[in-house]
Structure 1
């Protein structure tokens, strides 16, 4: 029996024809006919209606998105319902609420690339880096844990190597959350940079028999193959917030306004500046009013002082920002320090205290990519595969970006060896992360960095954890 081609495909010696009831426009780029359905009695759909014989209606590019066209005489009607129109901002959108620096004087001008620095300039930067790193905790504690919620998935032979690595990381993140007593009832888990929502998915599995749990998945882009839609438990609610972290005011999210649950901020490989935006979102804008951009933030006070001055009110009274103590903990797997930005960085005061500024920060964040140059070979293999677009759903974002950053420093190979570059890159990462730790400590948190997985699983294997000091959620008594 002869093999049949796809619908609309031409047999040898025949002209290709559209599928029955489909548009007759042939899309050259896709080598097939348009699959839109034309109006009754028409051969072409609305997008390609200008090809219809005896059709005197003119189609023009949409002014909101020129990738599609519209009948000129229906332009005003189309603009009111076009998917590319500016939509009303959600109530929790507050412009630049977590952006950080607003004084443009302090923002450095565009710096020259590392490859353009002279040998003397590069050596001076490295001297400054090593001097600033003296006394810092450079050898982090290994906290490679696991959680029983993922044991079945980890032992499933159907999982490939990439899926297995992600599961190992998620298992360790949950293990660290459990060690900090953050997995429990009566709280809201906010996953920053949620993507498909896999981390929240496993937290929900771990809390299968726990009541009064809420999940907020923050992601600025639309995402395919989301897993949060699979959850049908009535006592576990998933809600997506499609907003940039920079503009997210958690105080105004309706479910948090209503339930006033303690928040646990989580993230798996939250790239660069997104980590700083998330930290500020949690420990600053969520504990202060979001009304008005010019409003001064509340003065910084230690957690113990807040506890003494503003004890918890009874459930019948309204809670204020002072006595709610809404952030129960923070657990974020860090990555892509080369994407950090001085404007958003929360550790600027720390940098200034050791005699460094935006210029040094710029070069240190670029040099931080040297710590993960080993990704370069892996990345090239992934990007050359035929279905690399689909693989982005199971591949961390940094695995696609690090090779480009790392390769930009190839001109320095004659100056520094690969091992020296990796060592310097690691110093840059630890220095940037230490600024985040100092920031959290000043805000009244007990913060720490630890290795949460092996380098063979992910070169970006550092986890930032923070809990209020004293803790918002008391440790369970045995």
Structure 2
């Protein structure tokens, strides 16, 4: 090894780091053995961290700073508009106006967070008494028993998507079978629910487009499609190729390579607009090109609270209370299909239907415990027969819980560590479905027709819940 080089061993590369050492240290700046507690997440871009002592200078030169400054100039940017509120009286957070007008020297603004981390959720569960834990398990099973009849299974691959399924695409687009099958089933369920119909001349169903003409707009317009958490945009790509759409908005806060944008822009008569913004900060009313246009909202694997943010974005209270919305110049939702994901990341502050949990006798702490349990659903080996047990709900959780919560149990941590994979998975799926059912109930309360379905088997993806809804005019 060359003298003066970092002595940190890189096992994947089977060699030492080639960077120069930092001063008298044996390691470079990247591998210098400092406590991780000295590093904090960058408040401008959470994808990287920075030493706490360097925060102030980093904020002046962070690569994300220029993008953030540009974003704040956009009319559709409104900090935290879809974020929701925490009902706790002791909730301490910066309000939207203050967050937009902060000054960098105020370190304390960045060092606090009202998010409940996974470690905090786990520790809260472990601090329960065995009777409290057993009671929570019983309550989860009881609640799930009341909602299970509302959860359907519909693995639906429509004929319209055969061009993708059979790899018959002319464009050079990525093909991963498990993703293509999920995308196709989302579209198939949309079609079954009356939001799409088998393409005739690559047109969306006339029942959706109709209300646009009835409110005085002119031209052969069809609803726009907004894909939330779009990533590379291949769900929209399949929708454009198989059903035909005219106007597309891709909402995504991250930058991606190998996007579908290039091939979408080459589609005749299709217009595309990518909005690089966090869903929490997106004010759809201020998107000029969406004015007066009905739209269909879609999303595949909207992680954690992103589902709740999307629902607030599409169905804000001021829109819901405006009974004359169709006669105004604003956009309006015609339907939605959201595949949920990563429930362990959900936060009470953002959750769309807190009243649902409270009415079930569940507290904020219960909610966070339930979100922590959901990670167990995706920990299991879903390539085995376990997925069949979970999908069909044939596993008696109550019997299993009694087995673990015996008198001799030393504590909840011991109980959790001794639980078998099937018991953990069953509990995880129950909790995921309870969380999503609360979201579905909220959508239904807004006057939309709804459906909750498992759109693919667990061995294709354990994240297989799809929320579908459509407005009354499409019934």
The answer to whether the 8 Å contact 1:248/1:281 transfers is yes
Counterpart secondary structure, 1:136? helix
Q: Distance in 1 between matches of 2:368 and 2:453?
A: 25
Q: Distance in 2 between matches of 1:193 and 1:148?
A: 26
Partner of 2:180: 167
Question: TM-score w.r.t. structure 2 length?
Answer: 0.64
* 1:264 counterpart = 2:277: no
* 1:455 counterpart = 2:420: no
The answer to whether the 8 Å contact 1:115/1:412 transfers is no
Partner of 1:343: 349
Partner of 1:464: 467
Aligned positions of 1:285-364 closer than 5 A: 288=319, 299=321, 306=323, 310=324, 312-313=326-327, 319-320=328-329, 326-364=332-370
Partner of 2:89: 105
Distance verdict in 2 for CA 1:347–1:80, change over 3 Å: closer
Deviations 1:88-130 (A, max 9, x none): 3121011111111154527598552434544333212212222
Distance verdict in 2 for CA 1:249–1:157, change over 3 Å: closer
Alignment match of 1:114 (pick from 125, 128, 132): 125
Partner of 1:238: 272
Deviation at 1:434, TM superposition (A): 1.3
* 1:432 counterpart = 2:435: yes
The answer to whether the 8 Å contact 1:277/1:344 transfers is yes
Counterpart secondary structure, 1:190? strand
Partner of 2:194: 181
Deviation at 1:431, TM superposition (A): 1.1
Aligned positions of 1:121-136 closer than 5 A: 121-136=132-147
The answer to whether the 8 Å contact 2:450/2:468 transfers is yes
Question: TM-score w.r.t. structure 1 length?
Answer: 0.64
Alignment match of 2:158 (pick from 133, 147, 150): 147
Partner of 2:308: 276
Deviations 1:211-246 (A, max 9, x none): xx2111111111111111212124211111111000
RMSD: 3.6
Deviation at 1:30, TM superposition (A): 7.0
The answer to whether the 8 Å contact 2:448/2:469 transfers is yes
Alignment match of 1:207 (pick from 239, 243, 255): 243
Q: Distance in 1 between matches of 2:173 and 2:285?
A: 41
Distance verdict in 2 for CA 1:80–1:139, change over 3 Å: closer
Distance verdict in 2 for CA 1:347–1:457, change over 3 Å: same
Partner of 1:196: 232
Partner of 2:200: none
Q: Distance in 1 between matches of 2:456 and 2:344?
A: 21
Distance verdict in 2 for CA 1:106–1:140, change over 3 Å: farther
Deviation at 1:146, TM superposition (A): 1.4
Deviations 1:237-272 (A, max 9, x none): 111111100011111111112xx2111110111111
Partner of 1:217: 250
Structure of larger gyration radius = 1
Partner of 1:373: 379
Distance verdict in 2 for CA 1:117–1:377, change over 3 Å: farther
Deviation at 1:177, TM superposition (A): 1.6
Deviation at 1:344, TM superposition (A): 0.5
Which ranges of structure 1 fall in alignment gaps of 5 or more residues? 1-27, 32-63, 68-74, 289-297, 314-318, 379-408
Distance verdict in 2 for CA 1:272–1:83, change over 3 Å: closer
Q: Distance in 2 between matches of 1:437 and 1:424?
A: 20
Deviation at 1:132, TM superposition (A): 3.0
Alignment: residue pair count: 343
Q: Distance in 2 between matches of 1:344 and 1:216?
A: 23
Q: Distance in 2 between matches of 1:161 and 1:346?
A: 34
Counterpart secondary structure, 1:105? coil
Q: Distance in 2 between matches of 1:331 and 1:245?
A: 16
Q: Distance in 1 between matches of 2:152 and 2:381?
A: 23
